[in-house]
Chain A
């Protein structure tokens, strides 16, 4: 019973962030991200008893999230060979929503990053402190800081020019 309450709290507190991190792996497709988030919480439930509190609970959940999403990449190919710029134009004509279009473009650009960079940037977008990101990913704080800076520049070029 105690475990159930603990799990419910974890679920309510982290659901949104987990879904958004997953969206970063599936080109912003919300229903797919929700399915993935479910898988994440199944693993959280299964591992909750064994969680000894060596790290913050959120750190542990985000680890499960990025690792589960990484595994998902093997099932389906979310990257496409289509030119990123072409896709953005198609989308812009359809939606007329500049903001959404840029966000969509960001999702597409993220798909073209390596798995390491992808994990880094989705956590950064969630505003997770860089120190925590370093624990989630098993990298030093310094490496996280430099890499995030580099990825931001890459993504900026991608969003503005349509190429990485």
Chain B
């Protein structure tokens, strides 16, 4: 084990930087930034919910057209998904990091298992509803736009939806990989 003892010595001589007062200042600034970020997140969340509620009542009371329902189907699930994502990030931030590693890992595992539900149940539903909403809007587009512009919207939307699906799958894979590492 001589190799190991030598490595241990080298390891301990790696970073011998003297912590500075600047470091403390940076930490203090970071804490302030974090607090304001939390405040902004809360405001965004509340504003989103308020807009959602207002939009829902407005549409329910004054309009009944297919185009409006198409729009609702596109916006509503997206907003719900954003809210869930923000709450999820908050939940992860709030995990107590001062507990022992084993307990922390168990908590993290259960967090990522709950994320699996979001990924495999909620996200596909959101995605499907979004696409249905878009399809509902197509006849209106066809009526109101020139055929060239209509085709442009159709093709670019398909590309955007495919790209979106690609990035969502990539992110889900990343999280599943991490969950696997935890096991």
Contacts and interface: CB of A to CB of B under 8 A. Distances in A.
A46 B31 contact: yes
A159 B182 contact: no
B98 A51 contact: yes
B125 interface: no
Interface residues of B, number: 37
B101 A137 contact: yes
Counting contact residues on chain A (CB < 8 A from B), the size range is 35 or more
A70 B104 contact: yes
A60 B23 CA distance: 20
Interface string A87-106: 00000000000010011001
A80 to B, nearest CB: 14
Given A12-B19, A137-B101, A102 B7 contact: yes
Given A47-B98, A67-B97, A103-B11, A16 B30 contact: no
Contacts of B16: 16
A136 B30 contact: no
A136 B175 contact: no
Interface string A39-50: 001110111001
Interface string B7-21: 110111011110100
Contact of A106 (B11, B19, B97, B100): B11
A147 B40 CA distance: 45
A58 to B, nearest CB: 12
A126 B178 CA distance: 26
A70 B105 contact: yes
Given A42-B34, A45-B27, A125-B11, 9 more contacts: A19-B15, A20-B14, A20-B15, A30-B15, A43-B98, A63-B101, A70-B105, A136-B100, A138-B100
